Amino acid sequence: MDLNYSAADESFRMEVRQWLTANLPADLQHKVLNHRRLGREEMVRWHKILAKKGWVAPGWPIEWGGTGWNATQRHIFEEECASAGTPMILPFGIAMVAPVIMRFGTEEQKRHYLPRIYDCTDWWCQGYSEPGSGSDLASLKTRAVRDGDHYVVNGQKTWTTLAQHADMMFCLVRTSDEGRAQEGISFLLIDMKTPGIIVRPIIMLDEDHEVNEVFLDDVRVPVANRVGEENKGWTCAKYLLGHERTGIAAVGRSKRELAFLKRLAREHHKNGRPIIEDPLFAAKVAQLEIELMALEMTVLRVISSEGAQRGPGPEASLLKIKGTEVQQWLTELMVEAVGPYAMPFERDFLEGKAEHALDADAAPLAAYYFNFRKTSIYGGSNEIQRNIISQMILGL
Where in the sequence numbering do the catalytic residues fall? Answer: 244
Applying CB under 6 A, the site for ligand FAD has a residue count of 19
User: Applying CB under 6 A, which of residues 6, 21, 106, 135 lies at the interface with ligand FAD?
Assistant: 135
The residue among 153, 190, 192 whose CA lies nearest residue 173 is: 153
SS3 content of the chain, % helix, strand, coil (to 5): 55, 15, 30
Stretch that binds ligand FAD, among 40-48, 76-84, 297-305, 374-382 (CB under 6 A): 374-382
* Distance (Å) of CA 258 to CA 109, 252, 279: 42, 10, 17
Q: Are 323 and 250 in contact (CB under 8 A)?
A: yes
Cβ nearer to ligand FAD, comparing 65 with 91: 91
Give phi and psi for 195, each to the nearest 5: -55, 145
In angstroms, what is the minimal distance from the CB of 245 to ligand FAD?
Answer: 11
Q: Are 320 and 379 in contact (CB under 8 A)?
A: yes
In terms of phi and psi (left: phi > 0; alpha: psi -120 to 50; beta: otherwise), the region of 313 is left
In angstroms, what is the minimal distance from the CB of 325 to ligand FAD?
Answer: 14
Stretch that binds ligand FAD, among 95-103, 144-152, 280-288, 373-381 (CB under 6 A): 373-381
In angstroms, what is the minimal distance from the CB of 361 to ligand FAD?
Answer: 25
215 contacts ligand FAD (rule: CB under 6 A): no
27 contacts ligand FAD (rule: CB under 6 A): no
DSSP state of 96: I
Q: Determine the 3-state secondary structure of 212 from DSSP.
A: strand
In angstroms, what is the minimal distance from the CB of 80 to ligand FAD?
Answer: 27
186 contacts ligand FAD (rule: CB under 6 A): no
369 contacts ligand FAD (rule: CB under 6 A): no
Q: Determine the 3-state secondary structure of 360 from DSSP.
A: coil
| Residues belonging to the chain | 396
In angstroms, what is the minimal distance from the CB of 248 to ligand FAD?
Answer: 12
Cβ nearer to ligand FAD, comparing 72 with 126: 126
Alpha-carbon distance of 299 to 291, in angstroms, equals 12
DSSP 217-233: EEEEEEGGGEESSTTBH
Cβ nearer to ligand FAD, comparing 44 with 388: 388
User: Applying CB under 6 A, which of residues 72, 142, 160, 186 lies at the interface with ligand FAD?
Assistant: 160
User: Applying CB under 6 A, which of residues 230, 289, 381, 389 lies at the interface with ligand FAD?
Assistant: 381
Residue nearest to ligand FAD (CB): 134
383 contacts ligand FAD (rule: CB under 6 A): yes
Q: Are 156 and 215 in contact (CB under 8 A)?
A: yes
- Rule CB under 6 A: which of 284-313 touch ligand FAD? none
Cβ nearer to ligand FAD, comparing 159 with 260: 159
Q: Determine the 3-state secondary structure of 207 from DSSP.
A: coil
Residue partners of 274: CB distance under 8 A and separation at least 6? 265, 266, 267, 268
Q: Are 203 and 209 in contact (CB under 8 A)?
A: yes
Binding site for ligand FAD (CB under 6 A): 125-129, 134-135, 159-161, 211, 374, 377-378, 380-381, 383-384, 387
